[in-house]
Amino acid sequence: MEIKKLSEEFETKTPQEIIEWAVGTFWPEIAMSSSFQTQSMPLLHMATSIKRGLPVFFIDTGYHFWETLMFREQVASEWKINVIDLYRDTRWDVFARQNTRTLPLEDPNLCCYLHKVQPMQKALQDIKAWISGIRRDQTAVRAHAKILELQDDGLLKVNPLLNWTKADVQRYTEEHHLPKHPLYEKGYRSVGCAPCTIAIGINDDERAGRWAGRGKVECGLHTTMFSKKNITEAQVEFQTDAAKVEKLEHS
């Protein structure tokens, strides 16, 4: 199977056709991830309609808005979704609790690595294909992504909505009467963890409210940070000094 050629062919296919190919090729060793925000609903609706029982990974960082957790419960129940919650490794519990308030603000990359990247890496260890909802129009990093991306460890990342726009998401949402995250109408166009998300203006970029003013636009799931398998490898991304990071890893 020539991934590059297939990925190029998929540029003219619908998201549903891409999902059907992925499920047909890799089931049952396939899963998708979802943050259960408004813009996540189209892919979640498509994928779970095409394959009932498809595992849907939800990363519970411990920093979510209460509204996000309630919305996740509501949608999972009504759509009968096979949601699998992911949590940070328990070896970081003491450190995370000691730095609960300061970590997201002082070292957001380390926070994301512990609470998002590592849990997803672990969940995907026995998976061959990962369906993701990223789009090229979201960030400069995602603008260069491919529909099919083969990772160094053999995992195939599948991005069915990659060439969709914000307008496409809105149109699908309205056509299928999909639910919206409770905070959407309050100006939260892209909802992440509470300490790192703010409401934005109606004309702002939809991800402008994420890590505002901190020079950060990605959590690490869709960057080179995801290829770093331990804290020592990823420490160049952190504000925390190397010695402290080393101590954490071997504690």
User: ∠ CA 245-229-148 to the nearest 5 degrees?
Assistant: 140
Q: Which residues contact 45 (CB under 8 A, 6 or more apart)?
A: 79, 172, 176, 178
Tokens in use for 227?
């290829």
Question: Which single residue is written with the structure tokens 């409770």?
Answer: 182
Burial class (CB within 10 angstroms; exposed 0-12, middle 13-18, buried 19+) of 6:
middle
Q: Which of 111, 112, 193, 219 is catalytic?
A: 219
Give the chain's radius of gyration (CA, Å).
18
The continuous run of DSSP H or E covering 179 comes out as none
SS3 106: helix
Tokens in use for 237?
């991304």
Q: Which residues of 16-47 are buried (b: 16+ CB within 10 A; e: fewer)?
A: eebbbbbbeebeeebbbbbbbbbbbbbbbbbb
Annotation says 112 is catalytic: no
Residues designated as active site: 219
